[in-house]
Chain A
C-alpha cells in the first residue's frame, strides 16, 4: 500500500514549508492513524468476509478474523451461471477504451479550430457547445432511451458509446490548453509546408499530451463508472458492464454476503491496478480542474 502512494504528494508541494516534526506532530499522527483505520475498515471487512464460508459470515459472536479461510466464494462467483464477472469486466474495459479513444480524438478535432483558427461563427459555436454543460443530464435520460429503442440499440454497446461522445467539457479543456501553445511553432511548421491537419498531428498534439491524458483518464473513469444509463439500456446478462453486473449479483445474493464480497473484491482489482498506473495523471488532472478562479 505504501509503494503506490509514492507519487501522490507531487501535486501539492510543500517545498517552502519548514519541516516541523516535534511533539506537536504526535497527536496529528495518531489522529491520522485512527482515521485511516476507519477508512480501511470496510476494505478489511470486505476481504475477510469474502474468504469466510457462509456459515462463518453470519456466526455470532462475530468472527473478527476468518477462522477457516476459503476461496470457495471466489470460485462460485467466477463460475456463476447467473453472469460472468470476467465477461462484465471485459465489456466495461472494451466500452471504456473505445469511448475514450473516440472521445479524445473528437474533442481534439473540435477544440483545434476553436482555439487556433479564425472563422465566422467561431465564438457562437463555442458558446453553443459550452452552454450544453448547463443542461442537467437527467433531462436527456428518457428521450435518449426512447431514441435507443428506435435505433434498435438496446442491449448494444453502441448505446454506451455514441450518446456521450460529444461532451462539452473535453472540448473546453483542450481548447484552453491549445490556446496557450505558442504561435511560433505553428508558424514554423506552416513555413515548412504543413497543412492544418499536419500541424495538429505533429505540433499541437505532441505538445498537449498532459491535457490529452487528463481528458482520457476522466473519460475512461466516467465510462467505467457509469451506472444509471447502462442499467436501463443493457439488460442482456452477457452484455452488462461491471458496475451493473455486480449490482445484479447484489439482487441475487441478497443475504449471501460471502459471495457478494468476493464479487466486489474482484470488481475492485482492475480499478486498483488502473489507479497504480494512472495515479500521477489522475491526481494532477484532478488538482488542475477548477483551480483557476
Chain B
C-alpha cells in the first residue's frame, strides 16, 4: 500500500488554517450527533412526556395526567395491569427456561467440535446455519414442526412411536416447548462459535501438564476449561439474557401469544396496547417499566461481571 499522496491535490496554506481552527473534530462529529440527538436522545424524553399525558392520535389536547398510567399498572382490577404483568412474567419465564439451555448446549456442542474430527467443518456449518434465518422464517418452520395434527414432531410420535399426538400449540404450558426448542435451534450456533473461538485460545500445554498429573476428562474440564471460559460464558450469558428479554417474533409467529396469552411476551403486549388499542401513553409507561427492569438487570449483571473479573485476576 502506498502512503505517499499526490501533492498537487493538496493546497497547503488554506487547509492549514482551517485544520488549525480547532473546529475539525466537531465537524466530523456533527452528522452523527444530529441523528443521535433526533433519533436516540429525543425519543427517550419524548416517550416519557407521552407517558405523563393522555396522548390520543386524533385528539386536539393532550392533558397532563402525571403518573396515572404508571399507577394503573399496579391497579390489578384493570385488564391492562393483568395482561402487562402476565406478559412480563412470560418473558421472565422464557428467559429462565431458555438461557441455561442456550449456554449449556452451545458449550456442549463447542466441546464436541473443537478437537479435530471427520466432517468437523460440515458439523459447524450445520449448527451455525439456522441462525442466519430471519425470525419469521424460523417461526413458521417451527410452527409447522409442532403442528397439532401433522407436524413432524407429532408425525414421529404417532407413526413411529405409536403415541398420541400432543396439541403443542393450543395447550397452555406445552406451547412453550415449540418456542424454546425453536429458539434453541435458531440461536445456538452463534454462542457455539464464541465458545469455539475461546476454546481455541486455551493453551494445550495446560492439558498436557494435567495429564502428567493423571487428570482425567472431568477434572480437566472442571479445573482448566471451565474457569478459562469464564469471560466468554459471562458474555454469552449477558447477551443471551438481553436477547431473551426482547422475545417477540418467536411467540408472535409460532403461537401468536396464545393459548390464552400464556406465551404473550412483554414487547408483544406493549405493541398491542399501542397499535391495536391506540393507547400510546399507557404503552409508553409500560415500555418505561419494562426498560427499567431490563436496565436494573443489566447493571446487576455488569456489577457481577466486574466483581468476577477482579476476583479472577
Partner of B5, one of A14, A112, A202: A202
Decide yes or no: A119 and B124 within 8 Å by CB, A144-B39, A192-B7, A227-B134 being known contacts.
no
> What is the CB-to-nearest-CB distance from B8 to chain A, in angstroms, rounded to a whole number?
10
Interface pair A6/B115, CB less than 8 Å apart: no
> What is the CB-to-nearest-CB distance from A268 to chain B, in angstroms, rounded to a whole number?
6
Interface pair B32/A42, CB less than 8 Å apart: no
Interface pair A36/B116, CB less than 8 Å apart: no
B196 CB-CB contact with A under 8 Å:
yes
Interface pair A138/B239, CB less than 8 Å apart: no
Interface of B is mostly: helix
Interface pair A39/B194, CB less than 8 Å apart: no
Interface pair B197/A247, CB less than 8 Å apart: no
Residues on A with C-beta less than 8 A from B249 are 227-228, 243
B98 CB-CB contact with A under 8 Å:
no
Residues of A within 8 A of B (CB): 1-2, 4-9, 11-14, 16-21, 25, 28-29, 31-32, 35-36, 39-42, 45-46, 49, 57-58, 60-62, 106-107, 109-110, 112-114, 117, 119, 122, 125, 129, 132, 134-147, 149, 162-166, 171, 185, 188-189, 192-196, 198, 202-203, 206-207, 221, 224-225, 227-228, 231-232, 242-244, 246-247, 249-250, 257, 260-261, 263-264, 267-268, 271-272, 274-275, 283, 286-291, 293
Interface pair B200/A11, CB less than 8 Å apart: yes
Interface pair A227/B248, CB less than 8 Å apart: yes
From A283, which residue of chain B is reached at the shortest CB distance?
B193
Complex formed: what's the CA distance from A71 to B31 in Å?
Answer: 50
Q: Which 4 residue pairs are nearest across A and B when measured between Cβ atoms?
A: A12-B200, A5-B125, A287-B197, A113-B25
Partner of B135, one of A31, A136, A227, A290: A227
Residues on B with C-beta less than 8 A from A139 are 43-44, 47, 287-288, 291
Interface pair B134/A140, CB less than 8 Å apart: no
Complex formed: what's the CA distance from A282 to B282 in Å?
Answer: 40
Complex formed: what's the CA distance from A231 to B253 in Å?
Answer: 12
Residues on A with C-beta less than 8 A from B121 are 2, 5-9
Which among B29, B43, B126 has the greatest number of chain A C-beta atoms within 10 A? B29
> What is the CB-to-nearest-CB distance from B127 to chain A, in angstroms, rounded to a whole number?
6
Interface pair B132/A275, CB less than 8 Å apart: yes
B280 CB-CB contact with A under 8 Å:
yes
Complex formed: what's the CA distance from A40 to B129 in Å?
Answer: 10
Interface pair B35/A195, CB less than 8 Å apart: no
Decide yes or no: A196 and B19 within 8 Å by CB, A12-B200, A271-B132 being known contacts.
yes
Give residues 148-202 of B contacting A (CB, 8 Å): 149-150, 152, 155, 158-159, 185, 190, 193-194, 196-201
Decide yes or no: A166 and B287 within 8 Å by CB, A42-B185, A134-B298, A193-B7 being known contacts.
no
Interface pair B309/A194, CB less than 8 Å apart: no
Complex formed: what's the CA distance from A14 to B114 in Å?
Answer: 7
> What is the CB-to-nearest-CB distance from A62 to chain B, in angstroms, rounded to a whole number?
4
Complex formed: what's the CA distance from A241 to B186 in Å?
Answer: 20
Residues on A with C-beta less than 8 A from B290 are 136, 138
Residues on B with C-beta less than 8 A from A135 are 40, 44, 291, 295
From B126, which residue of chain A is reached at the shortest CB distance?
A36
Which among B121, B185, B252, B280 has the greatest number of chain A C-beta atoms within 10 A? B121
Report the tally of A-B residue pairs with Cβ distances under 8 A.
Answer: 327
> What is the CB-to-nearest-CB distance from B109 to chain A, in angstroms, rounded to a whole number?
7
From A36, which residue of chain B is reached at the shortest CB distance?
B126
B214 CB-CB contact with A under 8 Å:
no
The tally of residues in B whose CB lies under 8 Å from a CB in A reads: 112
Give residues 18-62 of B contacting A (CB, 8 Å): 19, 22, 24-26, 28-29, 31-33, 35-36, 39-44, 46-47, 50, 55, 57
B218 CB-CB contact with A under 8 Å:
no
Interface pair B130/A140, CB less than 8 Å apart: no
> What is the CB-to-nearest-CB distance from A22 to chain B, in angstroms, rounded to a whole number?
11
Partner of B127, one of A39, A206, A249, A275: A39
From B290, which residue of chain A is reached at the shortest CB distance?
A138
Partner of B287, one of A62, A141, A232: A141
Complex formed: what's the CA distance from A199 to B41 in Å?
Answer: 31
Residues on B with C-beta less than 8 A from A13 are 200
Interface pair A25/B140, CB less than 8 Å apart: no
Decide yes or no: A203 and B3 within 8 Å by CB, A244-B136, A246-B137, A267-B134 being known contacts.
yes
Given contacts A119-B22, A141-B274, A244-B136, 10 further A-B contacts (CB under 8 A): A17-B114, A109-B29, A140-B47, A141-B270, A142-B270, A147-B46, A188-B3, A207-B1, A250-B136, A250-B143
Decide yes or no: A45 and B25 within 8 Å by CB, A29-B118, A136-B295, A272-B132 being known contacts.
no
Residues of B within 8 A of A (CB): 1, 3-5, 7, 9-10, 12, 15, 19, 22, 24-26, 28-29, 31-33, 35-36, 39-44, 46-47, 50, 55, 57, 109, 112-130, 132-137, 139-145, 147, 149-150, 152, 155, 158-159, 185, 190, 193-194, 196-201, 203-205, 231-232, 235, 239, 245-246, 248-249, 252-253, 266-267, 270-271, 274-275, 280, 283-284, 287-288, 290-291, 294-295, 298, 309
> What is the CB-to-nearest-CB distance from B186 to chain A, in angstroms, rounded to a whole number?
10
Residues on B with C-beta less than 8 A from A4 are 125
From B39, which residue of chain A is reached at the shortest CB distance?
A163
Partner of B144, one of A62, A117, A141, A260: A260
Interface pair A57/B150, CB less than 8 Å apart: yes
> What is the CB-to-nearest-CB distance from A102 to chain B, in angstroms, rounded to a whole number?
10
> What is the CB-to-nearest-CB distance from A40 to chain B, in angstroms, rounded to a whole number?
6
Decide yes or no: A16 and B193 within 8 Å by CB, A36-B123, A250-B136 being known contacts.
no
